[in-house]
Chains A and B, each alone.
Chain A
């Protein structure tokens, strides 16, 4: 290129100050430390995911908090004042764990399904696919992001609820354990949904037509002991029943379901969903040709 050609000053000859501190040879050795590489990649994905939902907090954090306040005020405060105790506790207290859990379920699911689908849709998932990061790390990163949003929404709803009713968890450890495991499960579900989704409508079908009904029928507002025996049996096929009751047990110490069954259901579903999710990522379903 000679001097008569267009100005090429747009790209600078020398860097301003910074220098790369690793040579290519050093850099190429990093992939030989897979644990370190995947740990750094995991932190990167988690940071990216948390920043994503915090950046749009008006869409991700505020609506569930407003929903929870409305549920607690209308169902708990207004209607609940005319309802007798349920499970041996005031009705407002009874529904509070379920409402918190509903926020955790919906938001952990929605975070991963929308984030992973957006990455697929915009094709920036390819940034990860062309790097040495393992599929387990990608899965763990997205799931952690979903768990963080689910727990943050749960925390916000809890704080709001504490302004309406004063209760303290019977077991903080048990409460947290059920909350985290539930968020993990639904984050995995969100990722599986996103892998198969072909458009944005398909990531809202499951939350609207499956999760929300199952959550309402999972004993948020009532004890299944109120139902006829047949419907009690049917309700036991709803996995969300076990999560809501496990969470309620951690907070109030009352439950329709033995706590052991809650953990068995959670562990079984997490194992199955995690297996499906990693299988889909390894096969490249929806993300590789």
Chain B
């Protein structure tokens, strides 16, 4: 991303460090660039530093060193411009639960300098868009979890920010609401808003985002286009439901391992290394190395007259890549002292 000029960047983070008073180093010199108009995923395990990074960008956490710019405005020199350009949907519900839905949104508009009449219009627009208009007079504490998530999105959009930051926006919501949120986010991204998303649902990142950064132990360990990163995945695994599994004879494969009860396809270069194994429920699991294709497996199944009823991926490709990346990083870090989880310590110290 270094080829991007500053005026093309929605978010430009360089050498960002954060050390807490108790000595925990949450961020260790993060470099991160997000292009204007991008739909960007920030991935990482719990305690990786994602929320700290978002907190710094949103003025909720003080950085130790480094620079942060939003649309060319420095968080140090022009913090109000940065705040005006950002809409934040935090991980935890943080609106006043004793205020009405309408008040939550209009008050936020007021803090951004939007006049009352205008704030009411905007609140109506976004509450309607997010299907909350019928709840506008209700106390916000009475909303369901999915509605509360949508309320936070409405609140974050009411001042028309150019950069929307969502910290696990679909955590704890059912699949229907999650899918509808995806569609909504996709739409506002299409309309020009830059979106930075953290999520633990990696299928969400794969479905929505064009670019991704993986952060682990306070540092960005990989950043790039989702499509490029997926090609780096070492393996991916498919699950097959077979109509007549008894007809498949893994032991006939030339590389059958009797101890492991697995067989490997060795016919043709494209199928080299596909490992087959039975699952407990009679399903067939096929693990493909990078670059392999499924055709040799289908040839084998056809040859043994095994009928495939359905197939699916065991985990989505980005999830597989993510786990491989974090595992590799953890293995490297094992040689150095472990960094305690910042998120857990912050939670405990919160009043």
Question: What is the minimal beta-carbon distance from A277 to any residue of chain B, in angstroms?
Answer: 19
A24 contacts which of B97, B115, B162 (Cβ < 8 Å)?
B162
Scoring B residues 202 to 214 as 1 if CB is less than 8 Å from chain A, else 0, what string do you get?
0000010000000
List 11 additional contacts besides A31-B83, A34-B80, A131-B84; criterion CB under 8 Å.
A1-B207, A5-B179, A7-B176, A12-B131, A15-B124, A20-B125, A27-B114, A31-B113, A130-B60, A132-B111, A132-B113
Question: B25 at the A/B interface (Cβ < 8 Å)?
Answer: no
Q: Which of A40-48, A147-155, A168-176 contacts B (4 or more CB under 8 A)?
A: A40-48
Question: A10 at the A/B interface (Cβ < 8 Å)?
Answer: yes
Would A18 and B80 count as touching, CB distance under 8 A?
A: no
The 9 A-B pairs at the shortest CB distance, nearest first, are namely A44-B110, A37-B113, A31-B84, A131-B111, A132-B80, A123-B94, A198-B351, A18-B125, A10-B180
Question: A121 at the A/B interface (Cβ < 8 Å)?
Answer: yes
Q: Mind listing 7 A-B residue pairs with CB under 8 Å?
A: A23-B160, A44-B110, A123-B90, A127-B108, A127-B111, A131-B108, A134-B80
Taken together as a complex, chains A and B put the C-alpha atoms of A119 and B107 apart, in Å, by 13
Would A24 and B183 count as touching, CB distance under 8 A?
A: no
Collect the chain B residues with CB atoms within 8 Å of residue A36's CB.
113
Question: A59 at the A/B interface (Cβ < 8 Å)?
Answer: no
Question: B200 at the A/B interface (Cβ < 8 Å)?
Answer: no
Question: B61 at the A/B interface (Cβ < 8 Å)?
Answer: yes
Question: What is the minimal beta-carbon distance from A22 to any residue of chain B, in angstroms?
Answer: 7
Dominant SS among interface residues on chain A: loop
Least CB separation from B346: chain A residue: A289
A122 contacts which of B94, B177, B183 (Cβ < 8 Å)?
B94
Q: Considering residues B61, B94, B97, B346, which has the most beta carbons from chain A within 10 angstroms of its beta carbon?
A: B94
Residues of A in contact with B (beta carbons under 8 Å apart)? 1, 5-12, 15-24, 27-28, 30-34, 36-38, 40-41, 43-45, 47-48, 51-52, 55, 118-124, 126-134, 197-199, 284, 288-289
Q: Which of B30-52 contact A (CB under 8 A)?
A: 52
Question: B28 at the A/B interface (Cβ < 8 Å)?
Answer: no
Would B122 and A20 count as touching, CB distance under 8 A?
A: yes
Collect the chain B residues with CB atoms within 8 Å of residue A37's CB.
112-113
B81 contacts which of A31, A33, A131 (Cβ < 8 Å)?
A31
Would A18 and B121 count as touching, CB distance under 8 A?
A: yes
Collect the chain B residues with CB atoms within 8 Å of residue A121's CB.
351
Would A55 and B98 count as touching, CB distance under 8 A?
A: yes
Taken together as a complex, chains A and B put the C-alpha atoms of A77 and B292 apart, in Å, by 96
- Decide yes or no: A199 and B351 within 8 Å by CB, A21-B118, A24-B160, A289-B55 being known contacts: yes
Collect the chain A residues with CB atoms within 8 Å of residue B160's CB.
20, 22-24, 27-28
Would B60 and A129 count as touching, CB distance under 8 A?
A: yes
Q: Which of B79-126 contact A (CB under 8 A)?
A: 79-81, 83-86, 88, 90, 92, 94-99, 103, 106-108, 110-116, 118, 121-122, 124-125
A12 contacts which of B60, B61, B111, B129 (Cβ < 8 Å)?
B129
Question: B62 at the A/B interface (Cβ < 8 Å)?
Answer: yes
Question: What is the minimal beta-carbon distance from B301 to any residue of chain A, in angstroms?
Answer: 26
Collect the chain A residues with CB atoms within 8 Å of residue B150's CB.
11
Least CB separation from B56: chain A residue: A289
Collect the chain B residues with CB atoms within 8 Å of residue A128's CB.
111
Q: Which of B126-157 contact A (CB under 8 A)?
A: 128-131, 133, 150, 155
A15 contacts which of B85, B125, B155, B161 (Cβ < 8 Å)?
B125
Collect the chain B residues with CB atoms within 8 Å of residue A288's CB.
59-62
- Decide yes or no: A289 and B103 within 8 Å by CB, A11-B181, A33-B113 being known contacts: no
Collect the chain A residues with CB atoms within 8 Å of residue B62's CB.
284, 288-289
- Decide yes or no: A197 and B80 within 8 Å by CB, A36-B113, A131-B112 being known contacts: no
Q: Considering residues B103, B175, B182, B351, which has the most beta carbons from chain A within 10 angstroms of its beta carbon?
A: B351
Question: B159 at the A/B interface (Cβ < 8 Å)?
Answer: yes
Question: What is the minimal beta-carbon distance from A133 to any residue of chain B, in angstroms?
Answer: 5
Question: B298 at the A/B interface (Cβ < 8 Å)?
Answer: no
Collect the chain B residues with CB atoms within 8 Å of residue A199's CB.
351
Would A11 and B129 count as touching, CB distance under 8 A?
A: yes
Least CB separation from A23: chain B residue: B160
Least CB separation from A55: chain B residue: B98
Residues of B in contact with A (beta carbons under 8 Å apart)? 20, 52, 55, 58-62, 79-81, 83-86, 88, 90, 92, 94-99, 103, 106-108, 110-116, 118, 121-122, 124-125, 128-131, 133, 150, 155, 159-162, 175-177, 179-184, 192, 207, 346, 351
Would B113 and A30 count as touching, CB distance under 8 A?
A: yes
Least CB separation from B97: chain A residue: A122
Least CB separation from B78: chain A residue: A31
Question: What is the minimal beta-carbon distance from B120 to any residue of chain A, in angstroms?
Answer: 9
Q: Considering residues A7, A28, A288, which has the most beta carbons from chain B within 10 angstroms of its beta carbon?
A: A28
- Decide yes or no: A130 and B95 within 8 Å by CB, A1-B183, A11-B130, A199-B351 being known contacts: no
Question: What is the minimal beta-carbon distance from B193 to any residue of chain A, in angstroms?
Answer: 8
Question: What is the minimal beta-carbon distance from B297 to any residue of chain A, in angstroms?
Answer: 26
Question: What is the minimal beta-carbon distance from B103 to any residue of chain A, in angstroms?
Answer: 7
Least CB separation from B120: chain A residue: A18
Question: What is the minimal beta-carbon distance from B184 to any residue of chain A, in angstroms?
Answer: 5
Would B60 and A289 count as touching, CB distance under 8 A?
A: yes
Taken together as a complex, chains A and B put the C-alpha atoms of A19 and B52 apart, in Å, by 35
Question: What is the minimal beta-carbon distance from A39 to any residue of chain B, in angstroms?
Answer: 8
Collect the chain B residues with CB atoms within 8 Å of residue A45's CB.
110-111
Taken together as a complex, chains A and B put the C-alpha atoms of A102 and B80 apart, in Å, by 40
Question: What is the minimal beta-carbon distance from B121 to any residue of chain A, in angstroms?
Answer: 5
Question: What is the minimal beta-carbon distance from A178 to any residue of chain B, in angstroms?
Answer: 32
Would A44 and B94 count as touching, CB distance under 8 A?
A: no
Would A289 and B125 count as touching, CB distance under 8 A?
A: no
